[in-house]
A = this chain, B = another copy of it.
Amino acid sequence: MGYALLDLTTDPPQLLDHGLVATPRFGSAAEKLVAIADAIDGLIATHSPAYLALERLYFNKNVKTAMAVAEARGVALVCGARAGLVIAEYTPQEVKQSVTGSGGADKRAVQRMIVHLLELAEPITQDNVADAIAIALTHAQRVKFADAVASAK
């Protein structure tokens, strides 16, 4: 599971942390999920974020993968909600639209735009990490827009 933490008080947002949660390769489903829960709890304790943005899950051709992802999603939702975070969910299409301007953009286009928009010194090459950054950035853009609307009232 990829993760990314953005500081929204700067412009552009600053990428505070990002990576992949390590899960025990030969562990049971429960052991892997506990590793994910521990990692998310640790990131929340370290960074005290206000929001948790997740990918909204749709049908996946690989049912077994979809189930495992849904299990991890449930764990992440409980970690976030118990810590009082505001939770947001975006479809892959919403994320692509928000980051690149096109809902049909491919992974490479998303990865290029992340580097551009966040002014990163290095490219993000791991798909799950790039996805996590793109989801966080999508939420950052929504929050910024909501603030702009609020201040224009």
Question: Interface residues, chain A, CB within 8 Å of chain B?
Answer: 28-31, 33-34, 37, 57-59, 63, 66-68, 70-75, 77-78, 80-82, 87
Of all A-B residue pairs in the complex, the 9 with the closest CB atoms, nearest first, are A71-B74, A70-B70, A74-B74, A30-B81, A30-B77, A67-B70, A74-B75, A34-B81, A37-B78
Q: Which residues on B sit within 8 Å (CB–CB) of A75? A: 74-75, 78
Compute how far the CA of A77 lies from the CA of B82 in the bound complex, rounded to whole angstroms: 17
Further pairs besides A28-B87, A74-B74, A75-B78: 19, Cβ < 8 Å: A28-B81, A30-B77, A30-B80, A30-B81, A31-B81, A33-B74, A33-B81, A34-B77, A34-B81, A58-B63, A66-B67, A67-B70, A70-B70, A70-B74, A71-B71, A71-B74, A72-B74, A75-B75, A78-B78
Q: Which residues on B sit within 8 Å (CB–CB) of A71? A: 70-71, 73-74, 77
**Which of the residues B28, B37, B72, B78 comes within 8 Å of A33, measured between beta carbons?**
B78
- List the B residue with the shortest CB-CB distance to A87: B30
**Which of the residues B63, B73, B82, B87 comes within 8 Å of A74, measured between beta carbons?**
B73
